[in-house]
Structure 1
Amino acid sequence: MSDSASGWAAIVSRRYLGATVTLCLGVALLAFNGFLVSTAMPTAVVELDGVELLSWATTVFLVFAIMGGAGAALLKARLGARTALIAAASVFLVGSLLAAIAGSMPELLFGRALQGLGEGIVAAICYALIPELFPSVLVPKVFGAESVVWALAAFGGPVLSGVLTETLSWRAAFAVNLPLGAIFMALVLFIVPVGQRDSAPGPLPIVRLLLIGGAIMAVSLGGVLNSAWLAGVCLVSAAVTLVAVIRRDEAAATPLFPTQAFRLSDTVGAGLWVILLMPLAQAGSAVFLVYGLQNIFGYGATLAGLVGALMSVAWSTIAIGVAGVPARIRPRLIRLGPVLLVAGLALLALAIGLSNMALVLVSQVLIGAAYGTSWAYTSQTIMEAARPGERDRASALLPTIQSAGYGIGAALAGLIANGVGIGAATTPAALSAVLVVTFGLCAALSVPAIFAAITMTRRSAQRFT
């Protein structure tokens, strides 16, 4: 393939522009709604008299997104890609409408659940379509484009929802999904092929999907409990449930996961550990950094949010920069990612302890670089290493496992922070001490991802083409 056919211009050429825009918009809906809550929901819960349920607006969205993503490959097989995307986007639009017109917190939470379910399926199928709609040489560039979408959502999502909330209503922040979703559905009808349907797909594994949702709900609950003992029970119960589901899935007639999922002896299995562990470790900084900047450094919400979003900017910038590296370099980048993450989180703990903003900025760049260097090639390796007939399951799991990692990591970070006394940290010095321990332990949690990446690349270096 010539340079002109494999460069950045290729994904926006007449042949691939429609597919690029469609898949990026599908991911953008998930990214935007992930950042929506931080600015629109505080106003919504006050109006609806549901402040105590604020965290559940994120929890129900996450839980149902994970459940939808876990079953997305089966829906694609049953209905075909186009029909499955239209159906899922319709669920998302109904949820957005219900959230926009909600008259109570239960109604709003029901809308958020439908949003999560629909968008979890949409994002997963969009990932599964990448290797179908693009040649292997363009896959890293598509991931680079999607990382830009996440960076724009990190900046633009809170700003847009904040402007809509302040000038119109928090309801407008949910209603803006309606035209975006309609545009996505129109693009799907024109761009996405119908796809082959499995003639004998078997029954949907409703019990396993519900168990996955229940486990993630238990993780989320554990992250907000004041009792460390009860939180620990929730996390252990969730871990046991997820392991049991994975074991049962191996022998199921309609599996949700690829063969050897989470087995370190397998390329795909080791890769899924990387996809899980990196967000799990980084979630602590995502949850507590902005709070720390406001209460330790005295920053306002906007400036603190900009510092927090620096990670996303570094991610997208570096992802674009490495998207065309030679194949022989890519396994090294996969291994480098978790190393940079450990270094970035450890430096963040040191920076908070020293109250050194310059080091905070460097740590954010390192954390972003961890994803920018490795995420696209890790994902591509998993897709290409999947066994015959399992590529859809492996590809669709990527955003699902990533979301699960963030959810589990946020709960663990909350448990750590509560355990070392964040509730009683009423001074900048006391809060600094809490966050040093929290970010330091998050750095330790990211170490296993290094070994998973090494194991993965030992078995997959020859797969890059």
Structure 2
Amino acid sequence: MFSGTYAAATSCFAAVMFLTGFAALAVVPVLPTAARDVHGVALYPLVAGCFVAASLLGGVLGGHWADRAGARRPMAAGLVLAVATLLVSGAAASVWQLAAGRFLDGLAGGMVAVSVNTAIGQVYPDHLRPRVLALMSACWIVPSLVGPPLAGLVTEWWSWRAVFLGLAALTVLPALIVVALLRRRFGAAAPALSEDAPAPRPALIVATAVSLGAALGQYGVSGRDLRHLLCAMGGFALLVAFASRLLPRGTWCAARGLPVTVLLRGLGSGVFFTLEAYVPLLLVTDRNAPPVVIGLAFTGAAVAWAGSSWVQGRLLERCPRHRLVVAGALVQALAVALAVAGTLPLTPAYTAASAMVVAAVGMGMYVPSLTVLSLTHSPPARQGYAGSAMQTTQNLGQITVLGLSAVVLNTCRDAGTTDAVAYTAAFGLLLAPCLLAAVLAGRARSE
């Protein structure tokens, strides 16, 4: 993959993943503190979920664009937008502006993720794809070692705003250089759609409706009054009406091949994202852990994800992909058990933080294997569509699981239980998607 044929593409992809990884990993650990400072803890599910809701639209836009014009343009556009969103979030005067920044960041992230996966499918042969995907995960190692702990220290010693604004200043020039390199050295052309190809994916207005429904749902579960209830109902109605139009037929029935592969991506991502959202909130609001501990947890998770991805791409490359999916789901179940244990007052805060690391080990096996399976199940002219479908269910899974956990958490709190009991119930809910993924993984096997 670093030979003369693939060197330019590999270098550009690695640079894109490094920049996006550095920004993403440094920002997320400071969100609980930022939400608290702008008096928006009650709306934290919205702040956390806005990124995911926008990724739905960004993923469909990126996949549509990549299939029509190649992956270079959506990749470059997403990278530029990612820098701009840091300025919006860093200047946030209210929780709504913070949520808007996260929404724009999700739009950029969805475009970049889908375009990179699509480009890998268009550029590399089958036997190189697991290794390239492992390299993409490895590009997060350095950002994961530096970003989260440094962001925690800056937040503790100075301000969370300095994290956003400083990242914008540090990444704007490298981002522009990478965009120039993409324009000059890489132009993965999209395969022409054949006359027998399936009809084009739904119009972007459908993705917009789904994205809006996801955002309304996240806002709706943050409160108990009539306004929140109406928003939750409206968001649910939009998701029911439009979400299936963005996915392969048979996804909700776990049909063999691409449909169940897409569904599995949603289940695994829902578990991991919910742990990533609520474990830091638990550490800040209930365990009084300093921000640097949260930063170290994100660092450990990113390193664990990259290491696990390297193992599956190098040492386990001959292992059937669906078996690695089973292993990843079971490791996630172990992470859920650690998160539950971390809610107990007698256990150290590091117990809950370790759940993020263990869950990342599972995702390192889970995500690259599902990406390889999705490319295997898709013809070349539809790999952009497969990538956007994977991104869509990833985000739908995150929104759904996070929303259900938020309902359980808030219901327990309203009932007068302790925070420990509320978090235990919310984390315990995550065992269901873990076990379901392990059961369904066999239906995703390639021929």
Scaled by the length of structure 2, the TM-score of the pair is 0.81
Match of 1:444 in 2: 432
Pairing 1:380–2:385 present: no
Pairing 1:216–2:210 present: no
Match of 2:173 in 1: 179
Deviations 1:26-52 (A, max 9, x none): 334444444415437856995x89888
SS at structure 1 position matched to 2:385: helix
Identity %: 19
Match of 1:253 in 2: none
- Alpha-carbon shift at residue 205 of structure 1 (Å): 1.1
Match of 2:399 in 1: 407
Match of 1:5 in 2: none
- The partner residue of 1:84 within 62, 65, 74 is 74
1:6-405 correspondence to structure 2 within 5 Å = 11-35=1-25, 36-39=27-30, 42=33, 58-96=48-86, 112-150=102-140, 152-161=142-151, 166=158, 169=162, 170-196=164-190, 205-226=203-224, 237-247=234-244, 249=245, 256-293=246-283, 299-307=289-297, 309-324=299-314, 325-350=316-341, 352-353=343-344, 355-357=346-348, 363-387=355-379, 389-405=381-397
Q: Which runs of 5+ in 1 are unaligned?
A: 1-10, 250-255
SS at structure 1 position matched to 2:255: coil
Distance 2:12 2:242 in 1: 33
The code of the aligned residue for 1:207 comes to: I
Pairing 1:417–2:409 present: yes
Conserved? CA contact 2:329–2:438, under 8 Å: yes
Distance 2:122 2:71 in 1: 11
Conserved? CA contact 1:76–1:197, under 8 Å: no
Conserved? CA contact 1:99–1:112, under 8 Å: yes
Deviations 1:410-452 (A, max 9, x none): 2222211111118966xxxx33222222221111232222222
The code of the aligned residue for 1:216 comes to: A
SS at structure 2 position matched to 1:119: helix
Give the superposed CA RMSD: 3.8
The code of the aligned residue for 2:172 comes to: L
Structure 1 pair 94–372 and aligned structure 2 pair: CA distance change class (3 A)? closer
- Alpha-carbon shift at residue 87 of structure 1 (Å): 3.8
Structure 1 pair 62–353 and aligned structure 2 pair: CA distance change class (3 A)? same
Match of 1:6 in 2: none
Deviations 1:198-253 (A, max 9, x none): 689979713202211111112211332245x8767655654443342244x3xxxx
**How many residues are treated as equivalent by the alignment?**
436
Moved more, 180-189 or 403-412: 403-412
Structure 1 pair 373–410 and aligned structure 2 pair: CA distance change class (3 A)? same
Conserved? CA contact 2:374–2:386, under 8 Å: yes
Structure 1 pair 15–60 and aligned structure 2 pair: CA distance change class (3 A)? same
- Alpha-carbon shift at residue 346 of structure 1 (Å): 2.7
Structure 1 pair 53–456 and aligned structure 2 pair: CA distance change class (3 A)? closer
